[in-house]
Amino acid sequence: EHDVVFGRVRDGGYYLIGLRGRHDILSGLPMSTADVADALAARVVALGLTFAETPATFDVDEAADLDVLRAELAPDGAAAPATWAALWELGLATETESGQAACQPPSS
């Protein structure tokens, strides 16, 4: 029903773009900025296209974002078992003294 569908992330970016047809909506947008999703919405409107947004969520850009991911998946990772397993396999999730899972930043 819409020309464009996109989903915002909490830091101002986006995690999903779907298009009906070919439309140049990304050229010249300020990528990797806190207002790229707003700029995308403005571009879509300026082109006379209709759009809808999916629910906002988060993405993982920095080590601190892993804590958000871990909290979303806790306590057992059932919502995304492969992601949960990857966190453990990579050593990014460990068990704390209280027995809770916790993400660790990657070692450099």
CA 33 to chain centre: 14
Apex CA 89: angle with CA 86 and CA 92, to 5°?
A: 80
84 part of a folded domain: yes
The per-residue pLDDT for range 59-90, each reduced to its tens digit, is 999 988 988 898 888 777 888 889 988 888 88
DSSP letter, residue 80 = S
Residues 38 and 18 in one domain: yes
The domain in which residue 38 lies consists of 4-57
How many domains, in total, are found in the chain?
A: 2
Length of the chain: 108
Write down the pTM of the prediction.
0.72
Handedness of CA 57, 59, 62, 67 (dihedral sign): positive
pLDDT tens column, 1-54: 999 999 999 999 999 999 999 999 999 999 999 999 999 999 999 999 999 999
